[in-house]
Structure 1
Amino acid sequence: MVGIARSPHLRNPGLNYPSGFAGRVPDSAKVIARSYDLIPARGLPVGGAEAEAGVMIDRFTHHIGPNWFASVMGTGIVANAAAGLPGAPGWLRPVAAVVWAAAAVWLLVLSVAFAAQWLSGRAGRHHADPVAVQFYGAPPMALLTVGAGALTFTGNVPVAFGLWLAGTVAGLVSAVAVPYLMFTRPALSGAAPFAGWLMPLVPPMVSAATGAALIPHVPDGQPRLTMLLACYAMFGLSLMATLVLLPQIWGRLAAHKLTAPVPTLWIVLGPLGQSATAAGNLGGVSGHPGLAALGTGYGVLVMGFALLWLALALAVTLRSLREGLPFTLTWWSFTFPVGTCVTGASVLSAHTGAVVYGWLAWALYAGLLGAWAVTAARTAHGLVTGALTPATAAVPSASHR
């Protein structure tokens, strides 16, 4: 067996990190990191196809992290957004259903791999990573995205409701647990604000937006009212948290320029577009004209700011691409947040009758498709070549077992 290389600190190969983190890891994180060794992948016997497959699976489960679930979110939103596009051709829905099915299968694969990592005790390393820990918001949103598609494309209410409930509970846990870890763990203290901080706080907004479609299937009376109020409460939870963080993110960018990964700038579009979608959907199913009007008015205002942020993020991204922006899994930030703006524009088109929102929805969807195609292809290439699952994996060292 080849020699063991000691890891200086924990890093997720699928993420790129703010420059402020380079070479600077809190002492407590180093203590945790010292309990891990980087062990090269096992040697493969010549012609051992089964052994090779086993090593590939082992490497994949070693490297899987919560950020991988962003690929489910990005793929699922391509399908869900297509279903709501104004004036969509008849052939688009069956194609979208196939894309949704692919997202559902990928969710199952990632869930099994992530569960295996948790059972092996290796998942704890994400808790000491100031970037990776933020992406614990991704698994709940992946569940919610696939659940929304289950209702849209299959009409299976029990499955859709089950996925919504699981995603909602997990999302509420992430919205509390991740800030708690940031407030109490020295390994995560002192980190500069960046848009990734929104990730664990957005899932309740996704629950509000997708839960609106389930409200008509809830028994009338108190159960339906409770569901409606719960969705509005989760809408408020994410909205208030976003309003607290956005000034910090903007101020950080203005004062210190770009220190965080460029793709994470797009995450800001997530709570903006999703809140416009949620406000419109909840107002539509509330049965109250006042709430419906309020939801539409809110959506119009928020979409205006979303377009401002979209222009800024696009300009920064194009500049970074010219300078050579390396591919990482954070590129999936180019997909789901844009998809929420597609659904937000589609809802506004339906509620206002304004043709301009229909044009906006289609234009954004074209951009979403392009971003998804490139990111999905690069992710598949990274999996096949092993670039996203390098032949070293963090496992407990012999001295710490």
Structure 2
Amino acid sequence: MSVIRQFGPSWFTTVMGVGIVAVLTYTSPFPIPYQHDIGAVLFGLLNAIFIVAFLFWLFRWIFHTDEALNDFRHPARALFYGAFAMGINVVGNDYLLIGSHILNSGLATDISKVVWVAGTIVSIFTVIVVPYLLFTEHEVEQHQALATWLIPVVPPIVAAATGANLIPFWGGAGTQFAITALIFAMFGATFFLFIMISGLVYARLVYHKRLSGEAAPSLWVEIGPIGMSMGTFSTLPLKTQAILGQYANMLHVIGLVFSMALWGIGIWWIVISTMHTLLHLSKRGEGLPFHMGWWSYVFPIGSFTSGTYALDHLVSYPFYTIAGFVQLLILWGCFAVVFARTATGVWKGSLIQWRSSHWTRYGLSNEKRTA
């Protein structure tokens, strides 16, 4: 019960990270030895982590309702309901792109569609409720504007990018057009919120003291919506030819130009974020204390890599194939470090207190533990 009480929505960042690495490894356009085997193993791990995380989240609402409600009252913890939404969308996408090759194809596609609908509903919930609470209930200062403010507004664009793959599986042309219209609407909501929040983050970087070592990983979050925007606009031209007719060629051109331009700004953010990371690893910095925010080194890079994959499918030139492979190697390096640190932190009880030594340290008697 103590573990369940501590289990907040930030833990769904592990679902996001494992899921994005699994699907990018499995679908790499650059051939990799055993890529399907590795992707399948990670897909199984993803399912296990998601089931455990979802059950812990559900039990927390049942047995520790006040703690769960307090997440929405806290300006930092409320943000991570976006991770919950994105985790659901990632699982659904993995069932389509990996599960359809392991399970019965029709069953995997149906699961993907059901999970996508659930993820879309939660995504719309977070993009409305969390910003509203920030506007009306939470008290924050300008210097607290971090890229983590993007976490609750990014889910609709993740739903858009993953939903684009599902368009051909939605029956008739009318239904497919409705899904396409929803995808464009979700992209519009997230992309312009992304621009506004990025402006606040940029202003904070300019006018206030530099980011601390603890906050430095948050900069990488900026890369996530860039990659998902690329993925959305690079995938839509290929999936909507049957329903858009004469407009499909126009969308192909728009998607190509838009995604290539976004790829450039994504590289800029990667360079800036890398420089901040190296700064805090140098003598001039404060170090990078490990916390769950380190998963910002995984999912955003994975999102950008997925956008590069989609752009590669759209243009079919080796430039983006090679770029995607290089990004995948970087992603795997980050994933290996963050996953190992997370597993170690869980085992030692530093990330989530489950050992008796930690209960004693924090003044929890045996009676309180078993209450």
Aligned partners of 2:289 and 2:54: how far apart in 1? Answer: 27
- Which of residues 125, 139, 147 is equivalent to 1:188? 139
1:275 shift after superposition? 0.5
Measure the CA separation in 1 of the matches of 2:27 and 2:312.
10
Per the alignment, in what secondary structure is the counterpart of residue 154 of structure 1? helix
Deviation at 1:256, TM superposition (A): 0.8
Q: State the match for 1:217 in structure 2.
A: 169
List structure 1 runs of 4+ shifted beyond 4 angstroms.
392-395
Q: How does 1:1-400 map to 2 (within 5 A)?
A: 58-89=1-32, 91-119=34-62, 120-121=64-65, 122-155=67-100, 156-185=108-137, 187-190=138-141, 192-259=144-211, 261-287=215-241, 288-322=248-282, 323=285, 324-390=287-353, 391=358
| C-alpha deviation, 1:356, in angstroms | 1.6
CA distance in 1, matches of 2:332, 2:19: 12
State TM-score, norm by structure 2. 0.87
SS in structure 2 of the partner of residue 212 of structure 1: helix
Greater relative contact order structure (CA < 8 Å, 6+ sep): 1
How does the TM-score come out when normalised to structure 1? 0.81
How far the C-alpha of 1:290 sits from its partner, in A, is 1.0
1:67/1:135 contact within 8 Å kept: yes
The size of the alignment, in residue pairs, is: 338
Q: Distance in 2 between matches of 1:83 and 1:227?
A: 26
Looking at secondary structure, tell me which structure has more helix per residue.
2
Structure 2: distance between partners of 1:256 and 1:360: 34
Contact 1:59/1:389 (<8 A) preserved: no
- The separation in 2 between residues aligned to 1:199 and 1:227, in whole angstroms, is 23
Q: 1:183 to 1:85 in 2, by over 3 A?
A: same
Q: How much has 1:83 moved relative to structure 2?
A: 3.0
Code of the aligned partner of 1:371: C
Q: After TM superposition, give the deviation of residue 90 of structure 1 in Å.
A: 6.0
**What runs of 5+ residues in structure 1 fail to find an aligned partner?**
1-57
Partners of 1:394 and 1:111 lie apart in 2 by 29
Checking the alignment, whether the CA contact within 8 Å between 1:66 and 1:138 is kept in structure 2 is yes
SS at match of 1:213: helix
In 2, distance between residues paired with 1:80 and 1:61? 29
For 1:286 and 1:266, locate their aligned partners in 2 and report how far apart those are by CA, in whole Å. 31
Q: What per-residue deviation string (whole Å, max 9, x for no partner) do you get for residues 186-242 of structure 1?
A: x43436311011000111001111001111111122111101111111111111111
Counterpart amino acid of residue 334 in structure 1 = Y
Q: How far does residue 285 in structure 1 lie from its aligned partner after superposition?
A: 0.9
Asked if structure 1 preserves the Cα contact closer than 8 Å seen for 2:25 and 2:38, the reply is no
- Whether the aligned pair in 2 keeps the contact of 1:84 and 1:343 (CA below 8 Å) is no
Cα distance in 1 for partners of 2:233, 2:26 equals 19
Q: How high is the sequence identity, in percent, across the aligned residues?
A: 29
> Secondary structure of the equivalent of 2:294?
helix
